[in-house]
Amino acid sequence: MNKQEKQKRKKLAITLTIIFLLALFLGPGPGLYLINPNPADPNARFTFLGMPIIYAWALLWLLVESVVVVIAYLKLWDSHKKGRINPN
Amino acid sequence: MLPILAKTDGSNMGNLPIIMMGVYLLMLAGVGVYGYIKSKSTEEDYYLAGRKQGFLITSLTIIAAFFSSAALLGNPGAVYKDGVAFMLFALNLPVGGATVYIFGNRIWLAGHAKGYVTPGDMISEYYDNSVMVRILVAVLGFLYVLPYVVIQIRAGGHLAQQIFSSTPYFTILGLKFEIFDVGATVLSIIMMIYIIVGGMRSVALADVFQGIILLAGMLIAGVVAIIAFGGVTKYFNAISTLPPEALSLPGASGRYTPWLLMTLCIFGSLASIIQPAQWMRFYAAKSLQTLRRSALTFSLILPPCFLFGVMLVTLGARVLYPPTTTVDPVTHTITVIAHPVVGSHDQALIALLKNQGVAVMGTLGPFIVMLIMLAVVAASMSTADANLHALSAVLTRDLYDRFIHPKAGEKERTWIGRGIIVLGTLLSLWLVYVGQRNKDFAPLKMIVEMQFVAMAFSCQVLPAAVDVLFVHRGTRAGAVCGMVSGLLVVMMFTPMSKVLLGQGLGISVANTSLYLKQLLDIGFCGLVANVPVFVAVSLFTKKPDQKKVAELKRIMTGEND
């Protein structure tokens, strides 16, 4: 792998890591304060597209995490190609 | 006379439970025989199936070991109790999946090059074959594994009570045996036998079947719940009628704050992946490609099992069987009490399926409900067998082999391992029996409370593992001090704090830890002490042999010829 490809890989790895960590911060973390309805507020919105808004939020960030994993699987997780210690 | 041919319970399941349970137990016995036939009498074969496990076995055994009874009872029960807030916990699963590859890849490379069998083999060798490191990694592994085995056996007993609910006891030769005891004992003994005779081959093959049952059960349960409500739209319309506290954070009991959920998702997941049983599964994989595919499978298949499966069931159960919420006027503590039909929160899944599932699924109803109950048994047994097997490896390799009889040959060590499995099973059963008869039995009460604490203990190996695999700047003294610090902090979240610190200081610490537990994952709290101590001590103490470090780095990055 030449230097340019290594740099590209490193950039992709860093980008995916940041997105994944952001998904964890926003999804089950403090990002919830952006959408969490106030139970005491009679005008609060508890649903989104018919689903509980918290459930929809979980689905959104699960999708983000899954996409990150799939991209990592396709583009980064390739030790099996370069690994030389392999009984097969 | 054993009422084998009688109807077994009021949900009109006839003899189906005993037939399906019989088939399940025969399957487990069969894998024991298969494992025995295929096994070789070497330690590597007994503990790691010769390091040749392919993708199907590796992925399902990792999944089955990860998903315990908590996946089908405890976690969905938390959704029943608190509402949608706990559904966010499903976001921990891609963390686990990514870790399978990111950590597993390097663990596999090192394991194949150096012949490692346990986590202690790798971590202690890195730190100049440190005895203390090995002991601490083994102790932290033990503190994770034993409570988990006990909790799973207990869940098996409770499931037997549910499945054979109209049979409170069996009479054999004039002696009365409660169904809970019979269920826990039969499942444990069969599990013990197939682990003893077939080692990792039997455990992993059993996990394949159990993994398929539990994944299918989780998803089918979700489908049943949707059908019971009359379809997706009607289901969500019903959910929208839940009270506001069940549709928002921090949930009905006030427990699930965003910081707690986030730290649980990250550190709970990491702890469950770096525990001994999973570490050994990484070593046992046939190739890096196997781990790569297993990581993807884990990340993509498990979250739907929660979010489109079991969690939908118990959210629906909350609509049909709403719990009661009380607030203490003095302390303002919120208590959520399960509906009488449900009984306790972690039975919410079973309650809905038994009361609604049989009716809505027509003639297939009893079969599907029984399948889902078997899924719970499978989840419990697959985690118990993996942990018991790992316990055997850890105690044999890391303690017996190093300190009691270092000259022991492979055959002796394998038999010692088998002995540990017998003792571990009997000890766990004893704890379950006594705890069932005495709800205040301190060790079991402590163990049940310690399920999250068990994960927290495992989490304290994380800094050393990260250093060995990626960072390479820590020292032996740093690793020891870090793990001890983390272990002591986690201990403060158990009743041991009062034992260690006395009543006065112990009570203050207990109150503080109770407060912290509501804010953050316990494992994370341990790491807050562990990591700074590890780093600080490492700055001033002797580094490990740098030639060995360089060699391991080359192996793990796949550049060693």
Answer with the residue of higher pLDDT: A31 or B409: A31
Q: Do B84 and A55 touch (CB under 8 A)?
A: yes
Tell me, what's the pLDDT at A35? 95
A18-72 pLDDT, tens digit each? 999 999 999 999 999 999 999 888 889 999 999 999 999 999 999 999 999 999 9
CATH architecture of B47-131+160-448: Orthogonal Bundle (1.10)
B48-76 pLDDT, tens digit each? 998 999 999 999 999 999 998 888 888 99
- Are B72 and B304 in contact by the 8 Å Cβ rule? The answer is no
- Are B66 and B96 in contact by the 8 Å Cβ rule? The answer is yes
Amino acid symbol at B167: T
Q: Do B295 and A33 touch (CB under 8 A)?
A: no
Q: Would you call B88 an interface residue with chain A, using a CB distance cutoff of 8 Å? A: yes
- Looking at residues B442-458, what average pLDDT do you find? 70
Residue of chain A nearest B288, judged by CA positions: A80
Residue B504: pLDDT over 70: yes
CA dist., res. B209 & res. B193, Å (int): 17
Answer with the residue of higher pLDDT: B32 or B105: B105
What is the model's pTM? 0.91
Residue of chain A nearest B256, judged by CA positions: A28
Tell me, what's the pLDDT at B463? 97
Tell me, what's the pLDDT at A6? 87
For chain B, domain boundaries: 47-131+160-448
Chain A environment of B94 (Cβ under 8 Å): 20, 62, 65-66, 68-69
In this structure, what token pair is assigned to residue A58? 């979980």
Chain A environment of B237 (Cβ under 8 Å): 50
Give the residues across from A47 on adjacent strands: A52
Tell me, what's the pLDDT at B3? 26
CA dist., res. B61 & res. B281, Å (int): 8
Q: Do A86 and B91 touch (CB under 8 A)?
A: no
Between strands B169-172 and B175-178, the pairing is antiparallel
Cβ-based burial of B124 (10 A; exposed 0-12, middle 13-18, buried ≥19): buried
Taking only Cα atoms into account, the Rg of chain A, rounded to an integer number of angstroms, comes to: 19
Tell me, what's the pLDDT at A86? 44
Residue A82: pLDDT over 70: no
CA dist., res. B387 & res. B390, Å (int): 5
Amino acid symbol at B222: G
Q: What is the residue whose two structure tokens read 């074969």?
A: B45
Out of B91, B109, B112, the one facing A27 most closely (by C-beta) is B91
**B559: closest CA of chain A, how far (Å):** 7
Give the residues across from B336 on adjacent strands: B325
Tell me, what's the pLDDT at B559? 64
CA dist., res. B157 & res. B185, Å (int): 8
Global ipTM? 0.92
In this structure, what token pair is assigned to residue B295? 């990581």
Between strands B169-172 and B324-327, the pairing is unpaired
Q: Would you call A83 an interface residue with chain B, using a CB distance cutoff of 8 Å? A: yes
Q: Would you call B84 an interface residue with chain A, using a CB distance cutoff of 8 Å? A: yes
